[in-house]
Chain A
Amino acid sequence: MTIQLNIYRFNPENDSKPYMQYYEVAISKKGMKLLDALNDIKWNMDGTLTFRRSCGEGVCGSDGMNINGVNGLACITPVEGLKQPIQLRPLPSMNVIRDLVVDTTHFFDQYRQIKPWLQAYTPTPEHERLQSPEERVELDGAYECIMCGCCTTSCPSWWWNGDRFMGPAVLLQADRWLKDSRDEAAGERLDQLEDAFKLYRCHQIMNCMEACPKELNPTQAINHIKRMLLNRQS
């Protein structure tokens, strides 16, 4: 039993334009994942195929790619059930460095803009800043985000205005810090987001929710930020 793949190839040093390359890989085990197939190609057939991967279990967020037209993580996507030949492309709307590797500089720069760390101004307690179990539950659905970029690169608003629109992943993270009971910079955070382009480009297309490999809902998080801004003003 084999699976067929069509993989996007582009090496800017040699290729004038990208092309799709066909591979056939043997199914090596039950429950084989797409990353297993890519590793097989890389290690046994074609060492020039380039992709990012690290943990192999959907935690590091390295191997986000476009799989048959939908963004996802290769390491947790079973090959079984995918329409063949499987079309593998880099994440949309990011500059390709080589093959399936994209330039995430701007994506992480936007992440840095929302200051994704705890900001507290009250004196540091002797031991730690405590959080009740109820307050901790507030972070469910946000802390699981691994910043793989699958949602942001599936968002048409980010395609058209990604230079300014923060995108679903970063806004989900922004909401995670707005919801954190220990964080004391909610006002500054809202100030920084209140912008027709940074936040309000979201038109609830919901591609982000469809794409998220961790089954999170960035649209809901963005709506929560909008409600917080409304409540602050009214």
Chain B
Amino acid sequence: MEAFHMPSLGADMEAGTLVEWLKQPGDAVKRGDVIAVIDTQKGAIEIEVFNDGIVDSQLVDVGTTVPVGTPLAMIRGESEAAGGGEPPPAPEPPVRKAEAAAPPAPPSAAEPARAPEAAAAPGARRSISPAARRLAESRGIDIASLSGTGPGGAIELADVAAALGGAPEAQKRPAEPMSGMRVAIAAAMARSKREIPHYYLWNTIDLTRADAYVAGHNADRPPDERILVAALFVKAVALACGKYPEFSGHFEDGRFRPAETVHVGVAINIRGGGLVAPAIHDTASLTTEALMAAMRDLVARVRAGRFRATELSDPTITVSSLGERGVEALFGVIYPPQVAIVGFGMPAERPWIENGTVAPRRIVTATLAADHRVSDGHRGALFLNEIDRLLQEPEKL
């Protein structure tokens, strides 16, 4: 049984309002099915489930606003029994049921002695419900920083949810709370640095041919049909993944599954803070023009906060390109469960030697951060060199 959470879909999204349930308890769902519609500051967004299964229960009523990360529904595997009768004696179900049935009781006469942290003696091990622990860990929340309102000062799911952005004003906040977007980035990047043994390589690539190709392509075209060199970067990475499949896929449950189709995630900066890297589906199959159109569409939708939740989970490798403003190189942090991220710094004019002659050339520093559980530096070097080779023949991309 897995909880389905209120996703974070934008830099300033801290909470969402459930507008409509499109799947009811007992309905079978497949990965990618739209389960509900939520309303955010950016408008209504359809949210999708990530696993196949059956909707077991809905935990949030239509019209309710809840913080990012709040469980919205429980989804059980197809083999699991319905409602509470889970085969393994997991401690979660009763806890979850209790919370689902009785949302955080107001501090009324019923429990006068339930002052926060009253019973949490200094140094004592914090008591925390399994569901609360799981939510806290999945969102990168330090359990020690939480105060519990459950029996004996125990930390309950609602306490974690409150710490994620819905904390009542009465509670003292020593520091600015992180936005939902920052919480999501923090959790993913902390997991990446904890679990993925990164190695890093870089390579300088001469852009003379790529620039000439872009300039020639754009010369007679209206702005709508122009391309950016970034589209060539993304296409070259996608094609290189075809030859070096160990850089495109997902590492899950202790093993690497190479992707059958390369979906490059394109890192897009969000104004006001944060970034997302949604997928461009089947990147290698797109012409440069079609890829450029897809990237423009993606940027426009990210800016408007209108991308589908699955676009965030589909990428099999990420490309982060700093563009014309930035620094010479970036070393990426792999977005789990992916196993590689390719970075392109800001293209810059540098002295370049070819055939014994020094000449100014526009070059770009391409970097690779890859997962040592899946590949090693030798293959990584070949992969980066393949990207270089592809960018020297831009007309073939």
**Is B truly associated with A?**
no
The chain A residues found within 8 Å of chain B, CB to CB, are none
The chain B residues found within 8 Å of chain A, CB to CB, are none
